[in-house]
C-alpha cells in the first residue's frame, strides 16, 4: 500500500511537471497553430535563471522568500525571452508553418548551446529549500515534499488558466481565436496581441516547470528542457492538441503510467509505455482525449 501511495504521488508530481510544460505548448498551438520546438528552451532558461538568481541576485537565495524571489526571477526571464521571440521571430512567420518549425528548432538548439557555452555541459546541483528536502507521511508512505509543491503549483496554474480563459476578455478572444482567428480579426480585434500574451504565458509556465523541475530532479543541465519537451508533446497530443483540461488529464495519465511501469517492469519501460499509450489513444480517439480548449 505504501509503495502504491508513493508511486501515485510521485507519478502525479511528474504529471504536474509535464502539465506545466505542456499547457503552454497547448495554448500556443491552439491559438497560433505554432508547434513551438523552442518551448523546452524556456524551461532551461527558467531553471538556470532561478539557479543563477539563488546564488547571485541580491535578496534571493536557496531558502524561504529568497528562493521565491529566485524562482520569480527565473520565471520573469523565461517570460521575457518568450515574448521577445514571439515579437521578433514568430510574428513575421504567421501562417508559414515550415519556416516556424525551422526557426523554433534552430532556436532551441541555439539557446541550449548558449547555456552550455556559459555554464558548461555538466549538471549543476539545484538549490532546494529545506522544506522541499523533507518528507510527509501519507497513509504510511514517506512522500518527498517537492512532489506536493509540483502538484499544488500545477493545480494553481490549471485553475488560473481556466479562470483566465473563462472570465476575462482576453480569455474570450483566445477561446474564439482557437476556433476561428480570421473571424476574430473581422470583429475588429487585433489577435496578434493575444498571440504575444499566450506565448509569454506559455514561456512563464515552462520557466516555472524549469525551476520546480530543478527541485524535483535535484540538478539542472542544458538538455533538460529538450528531453522533457518530448513528453510534453506526447501529453499535448494525447490531451487533444488545444485543450487545457485534456492536457491536464493526459499529463496525469502519462505521469502515472510512466511511474508505475518504471517500478513494476524495469527502469526505462516507463518511457516505452508512454509511447504505447500515445499509440493506443490515437488509434481509439484520433483527436485526443478532448477537442475543446477549456
Partner 1 sequence: MSGQGGAPLLRMSDVHVRLSGSHILQGVDLTVRRGGVTALLGRNGAGKTTTVKAVLGLVPSTGVIELTGGDGRTERVDGRRTHEIVRRGIGYAPEDREVFAGLTVAENLALAERRGSDHHHDRVYELFPELQKRSRQLAGTLSGGQQQMVAIARLLLNDNQLLLIDEPTKGLAPLLVAEVADVLARAAEEVTILLVEQNLTVVQRMAQDAVVIDQGRVAWSGPADDLLTDADRTRELLGVAASGGGDHR
Contact set with partner 1 (CB under 8 A): 169, 172-173, 175-176, 178-180, 182-191, 292-293
Nearer to partner 1, 162 or 189 (CB): 189
Nearest approach, Cβ of residue 198 and partner 1 (Å): 16
Nearest approach, Cβ of residue 165 and partner 1 (Å): 11
Nearer to partner 1, 262 or 290 (CB): 290
Q: Are strands 141-144 and 124-125 parallel, antiparallel or unpaired?
A: unpaired
d(CA 147, CA 252): 13
Nearest approach, Cβ of residue 287 and partner 1 (Å): 14
Helix H, strand E, coil C: the string for 190-259 is: CHHHHHHHHHHHHHHHHHHHHHHHHHHHCEECCCHHHHHHHHHHHHHHHHCCCCHHHHHHHHHHHHHHHH
Nearest approach, Cβ of residue 184 and partner 1 (Å): 7
Nearest approach, Cβ of residue 258 and partner 1 (Å): 32
Place of cell 520565471: 75
| Cβ-proximal residues to 44 (8 Å cutoff; 6+ apart), any chain | 111, 112, 115, 210, 220, 222, 223, 224, 225, 226
Nearer to partner 1, 182 or 267 (CB): 182
Nearer to partner 1, 137 or 185 (CB): 185
Nearer to partner 1, 130 or 179 (CB): 179
Amino acid at each position: 500500500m505504501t509503495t502504491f501511495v508513493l508511486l501515485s504521488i510521485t507519478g502525479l508530481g511528474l504529471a504536474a511537471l509535464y502539465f506545466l510544460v505542456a499547457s503552454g505548448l497547448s495554448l500556443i498551438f491552439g491559438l497560433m497553430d505554432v508547434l513551438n520546438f523552442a518551448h523546452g528552451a524556456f524551461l532551461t532558461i527558467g531553471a538556470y535563471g532561478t539557479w543563477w538568481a539563488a546564488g547571485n541576485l541580491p535578496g534571493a537565495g536557496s531558502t524561504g522568500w529568497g528562493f521565491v524571489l529566485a524562482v520569480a526571477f527565473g520565471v520573469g526571464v523565461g517570460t521575457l525571452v518568450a515574448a521577445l521571440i514571439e515579437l521578433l521571430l514568430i510574428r513575421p512567420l504567421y501562417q508559414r508553418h515550415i519556416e516556424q518549425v525551422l526557426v523554433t528548432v534552430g532556436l532551441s538548439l541555439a539557446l541550449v548551446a548558449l547555456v552550455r557555452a556559459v555554464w558548461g555541459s555538466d549538471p549543476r546541483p539545484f538549490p532546494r529549500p529545506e522544506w522541499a528536502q523533507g518528507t510527509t507521511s501519507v497513509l504510511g508512505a514517506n512522500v518527498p515534499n517537492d512532489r506536493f509543491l509540483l502538484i499544488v503549483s500545477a493545480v494553481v496554474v490549471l485553475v488560473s488558466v481556466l479562470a483566465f480563459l473563462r472570465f476575462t476578455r482576453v480569455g474570450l478572444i483566445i477561446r474564439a481565436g482557437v476556433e476561428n482567428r480570421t473571424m476574430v480579426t473581422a470583429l475588429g480585434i487585433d489577435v496578434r496581441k493575444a498571440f504575444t500574451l499566450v506565448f509569454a504565458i506559455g514561456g512563464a509556465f515552462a520557466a516555472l516547470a524549469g525551476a520546480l523541475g530543478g527541485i524535483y530532479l535535484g540538478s539542472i543541465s542544458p538538455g533538460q528542457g529538450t528531453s522533457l519537451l518530448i513528453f510534453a508533446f506526447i501529453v499535448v497530443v494525447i490531451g487533444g492538441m488545444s485543450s487545457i483540461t485534456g492536457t491536464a488529464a493526459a499529463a496525469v495519465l502519462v505521469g502515472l503510467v510512466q511511474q508505475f511501469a518504471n517500478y513494476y517492469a524495469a527502469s526505462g519501460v516507463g518511457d516505452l509505455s508512454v509511447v504505447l499509450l500515445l499509440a493506443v489513444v490515437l488509434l481509439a480517439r484520433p483527436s485526443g482525449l478532448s477537442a475543446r480548449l477549456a
